[in-house]
Amino acid sequence: MIQENHTALSDFIFVGYSELPVLEELLFAVFLLIYMSIITGNGLIIYIIMTDPILDTPMYFFLKNLAFLEILYTSVTLPKMLVNFVAQNKTISFVGCAAQIYFILFLGSIECFLLAAMAYDRYVAICNPLHYKLIICKELCLVLVTGSFIIPMPIHMGQIYLLFTLPYCGTREINNFFCDVLPVLELACADTIANEVYRVVASALIIVLPFCLIFASYVKIISVILKMSSVESRKKVFATCSSHIIVVSLFYGSGTIVYVSPRSKETLIVNKLLSLFYTILIPMLNPIIYSLRNEEVKVSLRKLFRKC
């Protein structure tokens, strides 16, 4: 069936905002600057964590993996988008579209689990500080990161199989800047109820379950903070969690709207904008959020700039 579809439909065409061609050069410049800032910002985070012994802790181990993930995540979509802004032929092959969707879902799911692991790390550090080093050991950190990579693999393979064994006929235009589940699903000329059910179940496992773990962790953390007698201690403890809370709110908020909300013509337009937000702007903002609100990261960056 995949071979038949590939024969009948050799490629897809991106629409994006092609109805406004005068903006394409401006969009190219803006997105190129964003991509460079993502590479630079997350690259700096990775470098200082790997070179500064002060940052050799489980929290920064997770942050290093998150920064590396953000670079991979944006590299799945942004280079192709940049090419499309300056190319006349804004197409992607059938197989290329399937690969792009898979890696968007796969890497996005890893980020969900990594954010949950980071919340658990903060929970143990604040709620059980005396046993922190015993519980959050290097072996557990490796298990959590490895599990974050392994768990989403089979889930999204099934979703891609269901999506690209559908018959596609008629229009080949994807109403987005890159291949994503909902815009491609709109092009199918068959019953997509199985895809819808699978999408909701997969989203519950990948988005809702980790979010529940994060929420439960912060309920415990907040209860401990409220019991502290010193206002200064409350501020100090909350400061260690504030960056993570902001990132979780931005990422899960936009991701939930796109992948869990019901489909309609109005939501597809909103989702096109939100998909840019969580695939491009959040990876750009993460290094800024963690560096501006984290004193240890700021100290390490100052050391690096002095050396330079």
Mean pLDDT of 262-279: 63
**pLDDT-based confidence at residue 19 (cuts at 50, 70, 90):** low
- Residue 181 and residue 163 in contact, taking contact as beta carbons nearer than 8 Å: yes
Instruction: Report, in angstroms and rounded to the nearest whole number, the Rg of the chain calculated over CA atoms.
Output: 21
**pLDDT-based confidence at residue 37 (cuts at 50, 70, 90):** very high
Token output for 86: 């300056």
- Residue 245 and residue 218 in contact, taking contact as beta carbons nearer than 8 Å: yes
pLDDT of amino acid 300: 84
Give tens-digit pLDDT for 96-116. 999 999 999 999 899 999 999
Bridge-based pairing of strands 11-14 and 173-174 is parallel
**pLDDT-based confidence at residue 16 (cuts at 50, 70, 90):** low
d(CA 286, CA 67): 8
Give tens-digit pLDDT for 184-216. 888 888 888 888 889 888 888 888 889 999 999
Other Cβ atoms less than 10 A from the Cβ of 29: the count is 12
- Residue 172 and residue 15 in contact, taking contact as beta carbons nearer than 8 Å: no
What is the phi-psi region of residue 170: left when phi exceeds 0, alpha when psi lies from -120 to 50, beta otherwise? left
Mean pLDDT of 42-68: 91
State the SS3 of the chain.
Answer: CHHHHHHHCCEEEECCCCCCHHHHHHHHHHHHHHHHHHHHHHHHHHHHHHHCHHHCCHHHHHHHHHHHHHHHHHHHHHHHHHHHHHCCCCEEEHHHHHHHHHHHHHHHHHHHHHHHHHHHHHHHHHHCHHHHHHHCCHHHHHHHHHHHHHCHHHHHHHHHHHHHCCCECCCCEECCCCCCHHHHHCCECCCCHHHHHHHHHHHHHHHHHHHHHHHHHHHHHHHHHHHCCCHHHHHHHHHHHHHHHHHHHHHHHHHHHHHHCCCCHHHHHHHHHHHHHHHHHHHHHHHHHHHHCCHHHHHHHHHHHHHC
Partners of 92 in the beta sheet? 12
How far is CA 182 from its chain centroid? 17
User: Which one has a higher pLDDT value, 49 or 190?
Assistant: 49
pLDDT higher than 70, residue 265: no
- Biggest alpha carbon distance in the chain? 69
Give tens-digit pLDDT for 151-165. 999 999 999 999 988
**pLDDT-based confidence at residue 21 (cuts at 50, 70, 90):** low
d(CA 308, CA 286): 23
Give tens-digit pLDDT for 65-75. 999 999 999 99
**Which residue in 52, 110, 40, 104 sits closest to 75, CA to CA?**
104
d(CA 202, CA 29): 36
CATH topology of domain 2-307: Rhopdopsin 7-helix transmembrane proteins (1.20.1070)
Residue whose entry in the numeric block shows the structure tokens 């702007």? 281
